[in-house]
Amino acid sequence: MNSAPMFRKVALIGFGLIGGSIARGAKSLGLAGEIVTTARSAETRARVRELGIVDRVVESNAEAADGADLVILCIPVGACGDVAKEIAPHLKHGAIVSDVGSVKGAVVKAMAPYLPEDVHFVPAHPVAGTENSGPDSGFAELFINRWCILTPPEGTNAEATEKLAAFWRALGANVEIMTPEHHDLVLAVTSHLPHLIAYTIVSTAEELEGVTQSEVLKFSAGGFRDFTRIAASDPTMWRDVFLTNKDAVLEMLGEFQEDLSKLTRAIRRGDGDALFDHFTRTRAIRRGIVQIGQDEAAPDFGRRHKQLGKAPE
C-alpha cells in the first residue's frame, strides 16, 4: 500500500468468525498501521499468535484498547457491557468504539453508560456469517457485498460515523444507517426468527419416535439439511441474541404462528387453492434476493455435484 492506512492502531477484542474476518481483511488491505487483538481464552490467544495474522496479541482488553484509534468488540452481545467498562479508562481521546453485535438496542444500553464523552461510539452489525466459529473460521472475503448496519446514537460525530463506514466499505460491505430499535425489528425477522425456527426443527427431528436419527440424516436432502446450517451456529452468541432482543423476537414469533396456523388449517381442510396461491407468492422473494446479489443464482446454493460415473456392467 502506498497510501496511509485508515487507522493507525486498530484493536479487535475477540477473535471469532467476525473478529478474525475483520483482521484478515484489514490486514490484506493495509487498512491499519497496526492490528492488536486479544481474546478471553488463553487457548484462542495462542492460536491467534500461531496464525500470525495480526501484529500483536495481548493479554487483556485494556491493553488492546490502550491508544487505539478504532476499537471493535467482536464478542457475544451479552459481554459488551462488561468489556466497555473495562476498557473505558484506557480509551484514547477521539477514539472510535464499535462492536459487531447482532442486537443493537441492548448493546447501546449496556455500553454507552461506561464510555467517556471524548470517544465516538458507533455501534455496527455486519450482516454476514457462516455456521463456523472460532479463530480459524474467519476469512477476508466474508463481508463482500453484505450489508453492515451502523446505529450511531443521536448526536454522534458525523465524521467518526463516516470513518467507520469507510472502513466497512473497504472490507467490501455496503453500509446502511438506522436506529437501534429499527435494526432490532428488521433483524428479528431476517435473522433471529430464522435461527430460532431452524434450532427448533432440528431438535424436533432429533427426538422423534418412529423415525431414527440415521434416517433423518440420510434423507435430509429433501429439505431438512438447509435448516441445519444455521442451527449449527455459535450457541453463546445466539443465546445472547434471544435474551437481549426478546421483545422483537416474540413479536415476530407471534406473526409466524398466525401464518403457520393459516397454512395448517388449509392442510387440514384440504384447501389446495389456498396452498397453491401461498406457494406461488413465496417464489418471488427468492428471485428478489438473488437479483440483488444476496444469494447464489445457481440452484441448491451452488452446492457442487460430482460427475456421473460410467455405466455399470
- Measured at the CA of 125, the angle between CA 122 and CA 127, to 5 degrees, comes to 155
If you search the block for the grid coordinates 477484542, which residue do you land on? Answer: 13
Residues 268-307: x where in contact with a copy of itself by CB under 8 A, - otherwise, as a string: x-x-x--xx-xxxxxx-xxxxx--x-xxx--xxxxxxxxx
The least distance separating a copy of itself from the CB of residue 259, rounded to whole angstroms, comes to 5
Q: Is 124 in the site for a copy of itself (CB under 8 A)?
A: no
Cβ 153 vs Cβ 38: under 8 Å:
no
d(CA 64, CA 271): 61
C-alpha atoms less than 13 angstroms from C-alpha of 183 in its C-beta half-sphere: 30
Q: Is 104 in the site for a copy of itself (CB under 8 A)?
A: no
d(CA 161, CA 188): 24
Interaction with a copy of itself in 184-203: which residues (CB under 8 A)?
185-187, 189-203
Q: Is 79 in the site for a copy of itself (CB under 8 A)?
A: no
The least distance separating a copy of itself from the CB of residue 40, rounded to whole angstroms, comes to 16
d(CA 207, CA 203): 6
Secondary structure percentages of the chain, helix, strand, coil, to 5:
55, 10, 35
The least distance separating a copy of itself from the CB of residue 220, rounded to whole angstroms, comes to 5
The least distance separating a copy of itself from the CB of residue 306, rounded to whole angstroms, comes to 5
Please say which residue, 51 or 189, places its beta carbon nearer to a copy of itself: 189
Among 127, 150, 160, 164, binds a copy of itself (CB under 8 A): 127
How many residues bind a copy of itself (CB under 8 A)? The answer is 131
Amino acid (one-letter) located at 173: A
Interaction with a copy of itself in 220-249: which residues (CB under 8 A)?
220-233, 235-236, 238-240, 242-243, 246, 249
